Structure 1
Amino acid sequence: MALPPRIDVHSHFLPPFYHDALLANGHEKVDGMPAIPEWSLEGHLALMSTANITKAILSISSPGTTLRPDTPPSEAKSLTRKCNAYAADLKRRYPEKFGFWASLPLPDVQAALEEIDKAREDGCDGFALMTNYHGFYLGDPVFDSVFARFNEIHATVFIHPTAPCLQCSHGAPTPALPFGDQYPIPVFEFIFDSARAVIHLFFSGTVDRCPEVTFVLPHAGGVLPPLLTRFTAFGALVPGSRGIDAKEVRRQLGEQFYFDLAGAVFEGDEGVVGSGQLKALVKGFDISHERLLYGSDFPFTRHASAMLLANRMKDGMEVLFNEKEREAIYQGNAERLLREETSKGSTSGAKAGLDRE
């Protein structure tokens, strides 16, 4: 049977110049994977046709656009601009097919603030941030002005994991990988780093200070949900520690956060249809179907694997959700999110970018 129509909010692009930049900067086995995946517009459209993806919101995946700790700021700024301009051109040429989360050349905050305005002029749908930038995690005070700007423009922020890293007081930042290169980083380190970044956003007060920012969390929240009770109870359980209000965190998760379903969110064995990570999220933590979004993670999840997961998801979703809820998860929630993002544009440049659609 044909798959239901869907909007893909976790979908990547690797234009040729970005592929070359990865190779030139030591990322030929990006994040410990066997190779940089091949990507082309034709290949992406083919996956969209097969998986019945009506629209894909493109983003640059890990390691982002600041490819090394010692990347000259001018190089990171230039690569970021080229990537965003490339995505914006795809959106202009195929307005019904593509949108994009714009990259930022962090940790260069001033360059990032400049790029926010340029990307909005290009009609971006929001911003893609890595969980950390060479050891500076989201929630670090160094990024306060960026999040203040996001709050001012009511931005949508798509968070994507990258390799965990330690910011050292002396010398270059170092990878925080206890197993070294024994396992590809996306297998589980990505999932841990997503939780680390989001918890820091709460503890740092960033989420409290940014009530107008909408966050999209990848991979059904990764390991964040099992940690919810633990980190929200921290203040009450540990004397003298800075606490956070558990009820307020739950409210914020229900109003400011979405979870995409990229990855293996359902078990694949016979007899367990509907079981797995997504069931634990929605049943164990009362996450509404209205906060869920489809994601393929193409091309880092190759065409065949993306189809396998999409078909597994079709079966699992029929167990967990009714038809109306499934339609919302596949399309309606993303349409609402993108519609809200479009309505946020208040600068003349942003409006001009939207008018080009």
Structure 2
Amino acid sequence: MAPKMPYKIDVHSHYLPPFYQQACRDNGHANPDGMPYLPDWSPELHLQLMDKLNISKSILSISSPGTHLVPGNDELASKLVRDCNAYAADLKRKMPNRFGYFASLPIPDVETCLKEIALSAEEGCDGYVFLTNAHGHYLGNKMFDAIFDELNERHATIFIHPTTPMCACSPQAMAQGQQPTKATPFAGKYPNPMLEFFFDTARVVTNLFMSGTIKRCPNIKVILPHLGGAMPPLLSRWTGFSTLVPGPWEAMPEDEVREAFQKQIWFDMAGFAFPGQIRGLMEGSGVPHGRLLYGSDFPFTKPEGVKMLLGQMDKGVKDMFSDDEIEDLYHRNAENLFSDAKASV
């Protein structure tokens, strides 16, 4: 009989309380990011999946489209983010051994984000979730410096989740009220999570480093989704370019980025990590197994999909790692990360 695989801590899983689902439907996100459905979710359904797949704890977060649903409507975002974070805090209080959560921050509304950082810390959040961009404003933009400085002061953990890429309008067009447009050439053909999410993750990693945000905020611990998306094979490209070509960015030697990967950055394995993608990250970007975390992406990945992908992962990790290293991947790395986070608060 095959040996039983270790229990898992899931750092990439989502919650969609009924009021959030309704807000999405009421504000143009019934099919978020081109997906064919807004998934059903309840704590009971989540626990059923966890028990079936030996997931001991899930760290919940709001996925794309986030809590700032309508450009310019900060009032809606403020109410929705408060309701979501309060819901997650209550769920954690009721079942602290099964659920944790990353508090949502409704970028680009900086003032509300700063309020939510403090309030959610008091309520016991495990960190904070950002989308890669907020209506065309990408992480690393100077407009978010106050948020990142506050999180750095708090030694916070942040989880970055991809969303649909957006192109900002020209200053003249924005002054006339024009909103950023979706940068999705395959819209209507492929859902954005298939390809565009990975490209937007690569954009935001590049921008966080080349804006100087990562270097300026060494106390922030960052979890990147889907093994860094499309970033690993581009690492030498953007680091080399930044040091050879003068421009309005901070030069980032590749060895400095690789060092940050081993000190400040973690990568979740949600999605199709095996057989190839994980090797690109580890062998191409020098990321050791101690920076890898389990992720299911439930419920946007349905239960049968989570089970199938975990089967691929169980086979893949046995081919690449020792039994002790597998324990690290599935739960110890997460336990160490969140233990360190609690100690620094």
Determine if the TM-score, normalized by the shorter chain, exceeds 0.5: yes
- Runs (5+) with no aligned partner, structure 1: 267-274, 346-357
Which position in structure 1 is the counterpart of 2:288? Answer: 288
Q: Give 1:248 deviation, angstroms.
A: 1.2
8 Å contact kept, 1:234–1:241 = no
Alignment of 1:1-357 (within 5 A): 2-70=4-72, 72-168=73-169, 169=171, 170=173, 171-238=178-245, 242=249, 243-266=251-274, 275-345=275-345
Aligned-residue offset at 1:113: 0.2
Structure 2 alignment gaps of length 5 or more:
none
- Would you say the 8 A contact 2:258–2:286 is kept in 1? no
Percent of residue pairs bearing the same amino acid type: 51
Distance 2:30 2:252 in 1: 42
The letter of the residue matching 1:38 is: D
Q: Secondary structure at the match of 1:68?
A: coil
Q: Give, in whole Å, the separation in 2 of the partners of 1:3 and 1:324.
A: 11
Partners of 1:338 and 1:10 in 2: CA distance: 14
1:158-188 CA distances to partner (integer Å, 9 max, x unpaired)?
0000000012121111111122322101001
Aligned residues: 336
Distance 2:304 2:186 in 1: 29
User: How far 1:343 moved relative to its partner?
Assistant: 1.2
* RMSD of aligned residue pairs (Cα, Å): 1.2
CA contact (8 A) 2:160 2:225 kept: yes
C-alpha spacing 1:141/1:51, structure 2 compared with 1 (3 Å): same
Q: Which amino acid aligns with 1:47?
A: L
Q: 1:226 to 1:46 in 2, by over 3 A?
A: same
Q: Cα distance, 1:47 vs. partner?
A: 0.6
Q: Distance in 2 between matches of 1:174 and 1:308?
A: 35
Question: If the length of structure 2 is used for normalisation, what is the TM-score?
Answer: 0.95
Q: For residues 3 and 128 of structure 1, what CA distance do their matches in structure 2 show?
A: 29
Q: Secondary structure at the match of 2:100?
A: strand
Task: Check the 8 A contact 2:243/2:253 in 1, yes or no.
Answer: no
Q: CA deviation at 1:74?
A: 1.6
| Contact 2:102–2:125 (8 Å) recurs in 1 | yes
How far, CA to CA, are the matches of 1:21 and 1:236 in structure 2? 45
